């Protein structure tokens, strides 16, 4: 650990020498691009399909991007530890901008999906490296400030994405959804090239990249995530394609373990899971990704179908947690400095579990302020949970391990979201089928409601389905609480800055 601490002190120099404010601005712009592109396409789908066709495969516009981001996170984390953050962030930004330009020039749906995957390959570098650089630039006592800024940018961009995409598609052209990335991304790239200065590292000349491990991780993650994303959508869960993908994925898991054990510098090193602190944070934030699916995916449907709100009002019910989350995250430092990282996170996720559990007890049909209040409280609870864990786990490792650690945390959270979408989608459709005698799924039922042809019983069935999803999310929060209680150390082994 002595050599790691030395690297930590070395890495602090560019923060003092360079223009840190300009670098932080670049990080926030990069984070905004990564968050926007995860959601901005959603409201422009009708215009895109009308222009390019390919309605049967348009869901891959989202799935392809998500898969590429998720499976590349471990690789970029290891590369940033090996070669430095700056070259990885520059390469990722160039790849993201190239993908954006190609998306704007796409001539059919197949090309657009392929170019979205190129975008995602760059987006993985943006997400992981931005979070890692934030920890490099600031000492422990100041990290909550930059992390809360990034949380605010992420939350606002993710919520604003669908609205911005709809405006550009309606009043300009859907291709501007991708072209708008170019000036913003170019500015961020210029700021990084001009103002971020990292020290030369002796290990760079002798660095070896585990390309076999990277390929194995990419293949394994891609196959398993495809099975989760498309299962129950493109094909039934127990169909031949689904079983074949899961079987292939499990076989590739064995290949990954074999390759990584033999690698001198593995992409996913064993210490990520052998250290109690990192393993606990990975599992807890995986549960966070899972539970976040309940409000972000199902609450707008509930607000429109059950409460009868217009799409804009339904979006507001969801977006209020982006107000309380960053505020709570910024204030969490005053709590964890008194009671520690673990206890602060347990306080946040324990409160979140109670809030999620309270949702099914809302009256039917209820008033809009009731779920809005719960979302406001949920955002505050999750801000108290997530930021102490990220700041805490980044502070337990030195510069040479921080990229890998941060990438593992983000990878687990992204994987949790993918699993949550698959599991909760199946739960919602199962409840609907039992309430409506096996007729339809959530998508078809909500379309019928939009057309005004569905009876009151259908609205009640949707309410029951969303309530079941929230109960599942409450269980995920309780699981995260238990992981921290029994696996995480009471006091994180924080290194001195």
Q: Which domains does the chain have, with CATH numbers?
A: 17-196 (1.20.1250.20), 269-496 (1.20.1250.20)
For 172, the token pair is 């300009």
The rounded distance, in Å, linking the Cα atoms of 121 and 222 is 12
- Cα dihedral across residues 83, 84, 90, 93: positive or negative: positive
What are the angstrom distances between the C-alpha of 306 and each of 301, 369, 454, 469? 8, 13, 12, 15
Burial class (CB in 10 A: 0-12, 13-18, 19+), 251: exposed
The rounded distance, in Å, linking the Cα atoms of 114 and 41 is 15
DSSP 3-state of 231: strand
Residues 6+ apart with CB under 8 A from 139: 12, 497
pTM score of the predicted model: 0.85
What string of pLDDT tens digits covers the 497 residues of the chain? 344 444 444 444 444 334 778 888 888 998 888 888 877 887 777 788 888 887 667 778 887 888 888 888 988 998 888 888 999 999 999 999 999 999 999 988 889 999 999 999 999 899 889 988 888 888 888 887 888 788 778 777 777 777 777 778 778 888 998 998 999 999 999 999 988 887 766 554 456 777 888 888 888 888 888 888 777 767 788 888 889 999 998 999 999 889 888 887 888 888 888 899 999 999 999 999 999 888 888 888 888 888 887 777 777 787 888 888 888 988 888 899 999 999 999 999 999 999 999 999 988 888 888 999 999 999 999 999 999 999 999 999 988 889 999 999 999 998 888 888 888 888 888 888 788 776 556 666 666 665 555 577 788 888 888 999 999 999 999 999 999 999 999 999 988 76
The widest CA-to-CA distance across the chain, in whole angstroms, is 70
Burial class (CB in 10 A: 0-12, 13-18, 19+), 30: buried
Query: What's phi and psi for 203, nearest 5 deg?
Result: -70, -15
DSSP, res 286: H
Percentages of the chain per state (helix, strand, coil), in multiples of 5: 80, 0, 20
The rounded distance, in Å, linking the Cα atoms of 229 and 60 is 9
Distance of CA 288 to the CA centre of its chain: 10
- 17 neighbors 413 (Cβ within 8 angstroms): no
The rounded distance, in Å, linking the Cα atoms of 178 and 162 is 13
The rounded distance, in Å, linking the Cα atoms of 283 and 327 is 24
Q: Which residues is 235 bridged to in the sheet?
A: 231
The rounded distance, in Å, linking the Cα atoms of 424 and 377 is 22
For 79, the token pair is 């590369």
The rounded distance, in Å, linking the Cα atoms of 303 and 311 is 8
């Amino acid at each position: 650990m002595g050599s790691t601490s030395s690297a930590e002190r070395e890495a602090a120099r560019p923060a003092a020498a360079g223009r840190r404010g300009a670098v932080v601005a670049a990080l926030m712009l990069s984070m905004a691009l990564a968050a926007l592109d995860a959601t901005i396409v959603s409201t422009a789908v009708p215009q895109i399909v009308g222009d390019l066709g390919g309605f049967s495969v348009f869901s891959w516009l989202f799935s392809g991007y998500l898969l590429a981001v998720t499976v590349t996170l471990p690789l970029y984390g290891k590369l940033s530890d090996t070669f430095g953050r700056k070259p990885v962030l520059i390469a990722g930004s160039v790849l993201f901008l190239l993908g954006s330009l190609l998306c704007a020039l796409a001539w059919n749906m197949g090309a657009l999906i392929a170019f979205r995957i190129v975008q995602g390959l760059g987006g993985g570098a943006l997400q992981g490296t931005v979070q890692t650089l934030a920890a490099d630039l600031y000492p422990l006592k100041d990290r909550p400030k930059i992390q809360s800024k990034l949380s605010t940018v992420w939350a606002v961009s993710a919520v604003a994405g669908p609205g911005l995409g709809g405006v550009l598609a309606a009043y300009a052209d859907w291709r501007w959804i991708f072209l708008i990335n170019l000036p913003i991304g170019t500015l961020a790239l210029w700021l990084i090239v001009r103002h971020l200065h990292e020290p030369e590292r002796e290990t760079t000349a002798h660095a070896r990249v585990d390309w076999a491990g990277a390929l194995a991780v990419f293949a394994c993650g891609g196959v398993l995530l495809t099975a989760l994303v498309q299962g129950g959508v493109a094909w039934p869960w127990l169909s031949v394609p689904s079983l074949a993908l899961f079987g292939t994925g499990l076989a590739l898991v064995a290949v990954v373990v074999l390759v990584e054990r033999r690698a001198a510098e593995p992409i996913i090193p064993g210490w990520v899971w052998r250290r109690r602190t990192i393993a606990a944070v990975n599992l807890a934030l995986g549960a966070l990704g899972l539970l976040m699916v309940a409000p972000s995916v199902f609450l707008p449907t509930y607000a429109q179908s059950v409460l009868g709100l217009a799409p804009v009002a339904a979006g507001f019910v969801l977006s209020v947690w982006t107000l309380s989350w960053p505020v709570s995250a910024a204030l969490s430092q005053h709590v964890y400095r008194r009671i520690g990282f673990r206890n602060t996170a347990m306080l946040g996720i324990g409160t979140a579990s109670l809030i999620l559990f309270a949702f099914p007890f809302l009256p039917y049909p209820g008033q809009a302020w009731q779920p809005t209040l719960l979302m406001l409280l949920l955002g505050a609870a999750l801000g108290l949970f997530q930021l102490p864990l990220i700041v805490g786990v980044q502070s337990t490792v030195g510069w040479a391990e921080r990229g890998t650690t941060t990438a593992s945390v983000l990878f687990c959270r992204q994987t949790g979201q993918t699993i949550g979408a698959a599991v909760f989608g199946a739960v919602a459709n199962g409840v609907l089928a039992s309430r409506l005698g096996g007729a339809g799924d959530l998508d078809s039922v909500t379309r019928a409601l939009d057309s005004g042809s569905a009876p009151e019983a259908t609205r009640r069935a949707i309410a029951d389905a969303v309530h079941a999803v929230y109960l599942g999310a409450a269980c995920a929060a309780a699981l995260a609480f238990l992981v921290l209680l029994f696996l995480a150390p009471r006091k994180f082994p924080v290194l001195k800055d």
